Amino acid sequence: RRVHRTIGSDGSIVAQEYESRSEAKGFRPGLAALGDIKKSWTLTDFLAMDDQFNFKIKRQEEATCKGVSLDTASCVSFQSYMQTLGWRQGRCGYLYGTVEDEKVRVECVYEPPQQGTETSFEVDRDDGLAPTVEAAAGHLGLKKVGWIFAHPPREQGFVFAGAEALMAAELQLEAADGVNATPFVTVKVTVNDGGEANFEAYQVSLQCMAMVAEGALGPLDDDLAACAVHPTFTAVVEGKRADKVDTNFFLCNVPVAQHASPIFAAGASFPALNRLPPPGPDDLKPSLAALQHSPDLLVPNLLADFGLILYLASVPQIFDPLTFLPALCEAILAHRHGLPALLDDGYRLLLFSFAGLF
């Protein structure tokens, strides 16, 4: 069935299936017969109608995003976990940071619940922590600016799988509130023959976004590096009608740089959520135990780790997300700006008690 995607009132992508009609009656597969649409047609009317379903595939010269700078510690953490998996499966995460003059600056990564295979990954769409992640990022002055995915080594020229291009398009549609220009960026990482991780950044074209929004593209099981064209639509690739489109036609390169985030503590290494093994109270001890030897250290500095913040927020029965989360984030930002960074003594005692240090 053909699926049409629209932007819901909450900014989410909503998929709607069209009612199927027999190919014999429809003027295109999956569509009603012309006479069912309206009683009389002129040639101009028909051509205008038909043209809505035609796509002449062409490359987009430049990406809207003019560059992306990635936090080095976040990159190291993500690629290190892939290393523990032997680079044998796919994995993804959402990038949080800021945008200025169409340039993206990534300060941290959140990896949602997911299942990875050798060729893909499946993200849990019912992530109960997602609203809390958005709230925590917002308290730190950050927003979702892109996503990152990793995959096992591939043959040369195989850059994006069809499913990856489709997800990039859907996320850009959501960020742009429709088929509009957006700096929302996709970062991919894999490992080369020398065992070194390579980070590259891309956007998919506005044409790809439009085709995904109309339900014209779908995954293709027998050619992972391409997207299938729905029978309702016509795609013309290099002058020839095609039933699939290589994902390389949709990709726009984005320059990549790195930096050390000024928000989070250098060397922060709290275990990320939704990885194995999962983090627990004992993982707080290395950070909080430092206070026992150096009481003058500030709690906000020791807790300036996005993974740690999200872990604490995932225990709402102890750390109230409406009070503790904004207070902690405010103290972290104050410390980073050289301002007094105070966290209520009650929160401090709660942290020590939770970590089992009393």
What secondary structure does DSSP assign to 98-155, as a single string?
A: EEETTEEEEEEEE--SEEE-SS-EEE-S--TTHHHHHHHHHHTT-EEEEEEEE-----
**Identity of the amino acid at 252:** C
What is the C-alpha separation between 351 and 335, in angstroms, rounded? 19
pLDDT at 19: 46
pLDDT at 303: 87
Residue 84 CA to residue 190 CA, distance in Å, equals: 13
Q: How many helices (H) and strands (E) does the chain have?
A: 11, 18
Pairing of strands 143-150, 185-191: parallel
Maximum CA extent, the chain: 85
Which parts of the chain have pLDDT scores under 70? 1-27, 30-37, 39-50, 267, 292-297
Tokens of 286: 């290395």
Backbone torsions φ then ψ of 19, nearest 5 degrees: -70, 130
CA–CA separation, 139 and 118 (whole Å): 36
Residue type for 236, please? Answer: V
The pLDDT value recorded for residue 200 is 98
**Half-sphere exposure of 196 toward its Cβ, with a 13 Å CA cutoff?**
3
User: In the structure encoding, which two tokens stand for residue 227, read together?
Assistant: 């997207």
Cα angle 319, 322, 328 (rounded to 5 degrees) comes to: 60
Q: How far is CA 307 from CA 4, 38, 241, 298, 312, in A?
A: 36, 57, 48, 18, 9
Beta bridge partners of 169: none
What is the sign, positive or negative, of the torsion defined by CA atoms of 317, 322, 323, 324? Answer: positive
What's the whole-model pTM score?
0.89
**Residue 50 confidence (pLDDT):** 61
Residue 349: what pLDDT? 87
Phi and psi torsions of 133, nearest 5°: -60, -45
Residue 25 sits at φ, ψ, to 5 deg, of: -90, -35
Amino acid 42: pLDDT: 66
pLDDT given at position 23: 44
Round to whole Å and give the CA distance between 187 and 203: 9
Of 183, 164, 167, nearest to 67 (Cα)? Answer: 183
- Residue 228 vs residues 10, 67, 113, 233: alpha-carbon distances, Å: 29, 30, 27, 10
Token pair for residue 240? Answer: 């020839």
Q: Name, in order, each residue with C-beta under 8 angstroms of 191's C-beta and a sequence gap of 6 or more.
A: 82, 83, 87, 152, 153, 197, 198
What SS3 class is residue 334?
A: helix
Specify the DSSP class assigned to residue 31. Answer: S
Neighbours of 248 (CB within 10 A): 14
DSSP letter at 314 equals: T
Q: Which residues contact 265 (CB under 8 A, 6 or more apart)?
A: 301, 302, 304, 305
